[in-house]
C-alpha cells in the first residue's frame, strides 16, 4: 500500500524552538507539498517541491523553510516556533508535472506551540 508517512502525530514545542517536521513517501513522486490546516480556513499551502533540492513558496511561507535532499523526503522547518504556528500540518505528494492527478496525504502532525 502506497504511503506518505509523517514522523510525528502530535508534537508540543516551546516558543522560540526550532522545529522539524518530517515527511517520507514511498511512491517515487516528484512533487511534495506542505499544508497547514486550520478550522474555517481549509488547507493552505506553505511550500512545495517539484524535484530534489528544488522548492517554491506557497501562499503562507513566512516563518517556515523546507529541505528536500532526497526525492522521498520533504522536511518542514519552523525556524523559531511561535504560538500562531499551532496547527495541523499535512504533507502530500503527487507524481508527474502535467497535472491531473490527486494528492496522497499523510495523516498529519498536530503541532502545539506553548
Write out the residues near other proteins by the rule CB under 8 A.
Answer: 4, 31, 35, 40-45, 48, 50, 90, 92, 94, 96-108
Which CB sits closer to other proteins, 48 or 64? 48
CB of 1 to other proteins, least distance (A): 12
Q: How crowded is residue 52: how many other Cβ atoms within 10 Å of its Cβ? A: 13
Which CB sits closer to other proteins, 37 or 86? 37
Which CB sits closer to other proteins, 41 or 82? 41
CB of 37 to other proteins, least distance (A): 9
What's the length of the chain? 114
Question: How far is Cα 76 from Cα 21, in angstroms, rounded to an integer?
Answer: 5
CB of 70 to other proteins, least distance (A): 20
Question: Cβ contacts of residue 70 below 8 Å, gap of 6+?
Answer: 52
Strand pairing partners for 94? 31
For residue 62 the three cell numbers come to: 513566512
Amino acid at each position: 500500500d502506497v504511503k506518505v508517512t509523517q514522523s510525528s502525530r502530535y508534537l508540543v514545542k516551546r516558543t522560540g524552538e526550532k522545529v522539524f517536521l518530517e515527511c517520507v513517501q514511498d511512491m517515487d513522486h516528484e512533487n511534495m507539498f506542505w499544508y497547514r490546516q486550520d478550522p474555517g480556513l481549509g488547507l493552505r499551502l506553505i511550500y512545495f517541491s517539484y524535484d530534489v533540492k528544488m522548492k517554491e513558496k506557497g501562499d503562507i511561507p513566512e516563518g517556515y523553510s523546507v529541505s528536500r535532499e532526497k526525492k522521498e523526503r520533504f522536511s518542514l522547518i519552523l525556524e523559531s516556533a511561535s504560538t500562531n504556528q499551532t496547527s495541523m500540518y499535512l504533507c502530500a505528494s503527487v507524481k508527474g508535472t502535467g497535472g491531473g492527478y490527486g494528492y496522497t496525504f499523510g495523516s498529519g502532525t498536530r503541532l502545539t506551540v506553548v
